[in-house]
Amino acid sequence: MRIRLTRSIIPNLLTLGNLFSGFSAIIYISRNEFEIAAMMVLIAGIFDALDGVIARLIRSTSAIGVELDSLCDAVSFGIAPSFMIYQIYFYQLEQIGVVVSSLPALAGVYRLARFNVQATFEDKTYFKGMPIPSAALLIISYCIFHFNNLQQGKYGVALLYAVTLIASFSMISTVKFDNLPRPNWLYLKKYPWKFAITLIALMISIITHGGFIFPFMLFYVIYSYIKHLYHYFKKSYK
């Protein structure tokens, strides 16, 4: 028996790195080591970004790569965030908590299935529905940097419900969400303000030790909905 190695093995290994990181995050969440788990989800996101870039660079994009990517994303950005919100708070609500905390995973898997049906190998500037890694970042950044502080003021739990529902609904919606800016001259020339905003947000997030990630992700969601409504009403009144 001979195993045939192709160029696609490189991006596929990166994709599997995404899955391993997501699995590791779940292990750490089960131990209530939430900060380490969040770091593992972030590493999964890095692997998720790299596999597509490398696949395009070496021209090894394939249908199996798309499917593998989605399966790994379902674990790292669907199940892991859902399990985190369950362990942080919703476990107290027993069966209701199981249902509520499962929503990001359920919505995320549906979002991935819809994406695969409509998938092309083009580098899109926007996605229909919030990308599952972005939804995971919204949920986890809130849990790690803001939930405990806000919980003391009685707002933490209410906002946890809101973040869970907003992230879940946004993934299955048809609202257009901008893709992350590409670090190249062509993208910078075409969308200079998007590139600048993302770069500034990244710098502030580093300065605030991650505290700015959640407000920025919330801005990303609100901006996407406002833009969607603007184009909807503009089209309706033509």
Q: What does the buried/exposed string (b/e) look like for 208-222 if buried means 16 or more CB atoms within 10 Å of the residue's CB?
A: eeeebbbbbbbebbe
Taking the C-alpha atoms of residue 11 and residue 185, their distance in angstroms, rounded to an integer, is 24
Question: Domain-by-domain residue ranges, the chain?
Answer: 9-236
- pLDDT of 83 strictly over 80: yes
- pLDDT of 98 strictly over 70: yes
Evaluated on CA atoms 217, 52, 21, 107, the torsion sign reads positive
Q: How confident is the model at residue 127 (pLDDT cuts 50, 70, 90)?
A: confident
Q: What is the pLDDT of residue 23?
A: 97
- pLDDT of 10 strictly over 90: no
Q: What is the pLDDT of residue 40?
A: 96
Ranking 19-23, 59-63, 140-144, 155-159 by mean pLDDT, the lowest is 59-63
Q: How confident is the model at residue 1 (pLDDT cuts 50, 70, 90)?
A: very low
- pLDDT of 3 strictly over 90: no
Report residue 203 as tokens.
Answer: 């710098």
Contact 144, 85 (CB under 8 A): no
The helix/strand/coil state of 114 is helix
Contact 224, 130 (CB under 8 A): yes
Reference 45, options 124, 138, 122; nearest CA is 138
Q: Where are the beta strands (DSSP E) in 20-74?
A: none
Q: What is the pLDDT of residue 66?
A: 83
Average pLDDT, the chain: 87
Kindly report the pTM of this predicted structure.
0.89
DSSP 8-state symbol, 191: -
Reference 180, options 216, 226, 234, 233; nearest CA is 216
Q: Where is pLDDT greater, at 230 or 40? A: 40
The helix/strand/coil state of 127 is strand
Mean per-residue pLDDT, 50-74 = 81
- pLDDT of 183 strictly over 60: no
Please report which helix (H) or strand (E) contains residue 177, including its range.
strand 176-178
- pLDDT of 194 strictly over 90: no
Evaluated on CA atoms 156, 160, 163, 165, the torsion sign reads negative
Ranking 87-96, 114-123, 149-158, 168-177 by mean pLDDT, the lowest is 114-123
Q: How confident is the model at residue 59 (pLDDT cuts 50, 70, 90)?
A: confident
Q: Please tell me the class of the 9-236 domain.
A: mainly alpha
